[in-house]
Homo-oligomer: A and B are copies of this chain.
Amino acid sequence: MTDPLRIVALSGGVGGARFLRGLVAWGATAGVPLDVTVIANTGDDMRLHGLQICPDLDTVMYTLGGVISEAQGWGREDERFTVAEELRPYGVGWEWFTLGDRDIATHLARTSLLDAGQPLSAATARLAARWDLPVTLLPMSDQPVETHVELSGGEVMHFEEWWVRTRAAAPARRFVQVRVDEAAPAPGVLDAIAGADLVLLPPSNPVVSVGTILGVPGIADALRSAAAPLVGVSPIIGGAAVRGMAEACLATLGVPATAAGVALDYRSRHGLLDGWLVDDADAGALDELASAGVAGLARPLWMTDVDTTAAIAAAAVELGLSLR
């Protein structure tokens, strides 16, 4: 029996989750046993109406559990909204943030476990057990970290409010990962990195998803000293973020919203990145990547369905293994 290929992935929400589903599908189809550990961003987490909500953990969990809303990319399929309809007339809370009934059950269960004194990593494992996930799902940290947005006018709001309510339209001056300096990697995070054959960066938001994970003291160090090569998939295709509003985030850092721009920023800011998958449309960036010491590979990167996503994951793994 072959030892499974030990992969660590640093994931945000929708893009990361879809990539991971492709990765798992590729492993199954190709007959390659995988041992995947997902380190998920928890900087978007929030307490809303007393509930602890972890958008990225839930999106990964629902996607890999087969119960994601395909239309939205987040939240539960066949969702219902009795609670939200009843909540509205009370006129309290974040009225722009609609919680589905099925989703609320997840938040209630998580909050229950946390209130009983369990760390987020243990609560996440308990929730994930219900869905029999094909990966080990870890929060980046058990300590709360909250990404806040400072607008150009000085106003500060939770990232989710900026992202969901304003659709990232309000110009952001900077992002602040509140309390990230006091956070430690969750149990299992450093061990998984140290023992990995390959570390992958799915096409998640490089600033507020992957960037937040890398901001947890100890994680970037562990990645730099790990034996495994680190290969990323560009979240930018032809100068546009595949999904979401990554450009608005990159602008705050002065990073060009291009496939090469994001890769070179991982190099210069974090001293990370051995390989970088770009879309065929961005094949022109391969030379610039090569001269920066990043092994590039151009492939179709639109994750239109599970099969095409599996092919992207296969290419990322192939590139990574060639760099060992």
Contact = CB atoms under 8 A, between A and B. Distances in A.
Interface of A: 47-52, 80, 82-87, 89-93, 101-102, 104-109, 111-115, 126-127, 130
Contacts of A89: 130
Contact of A82 (B80, B92, B115, B130): B80
Contacts of A102: 82-83, 86
A188 to B, nearest CB: 21
Contact of A112 (B49, B80, B101): B49
A108 B126 contact: no
B83 A109 contact: no
Nearest to A84: B105
Give chain A's interface secondary structure class.
helix
Contacts of A93: 108-109, 112
Contact of A92 (B48, B85, B126): B126
A107 B130 CA distance: 26
A49 B115 CA distance: 7
Contacts of A90: 105-106, 109, 126-127, 130
Contacts of A111: 49-51
Given A82-B80, A86-B101, A101-B83, A49 B92 contact: no
Contacts of A92: 109, 112-113, 126
A127 B92 CA distance: 9
B50 A115 contact: yes
A52 to B, nearest CB: 7
Nearest to A105: B86
Nearest to A103: B86
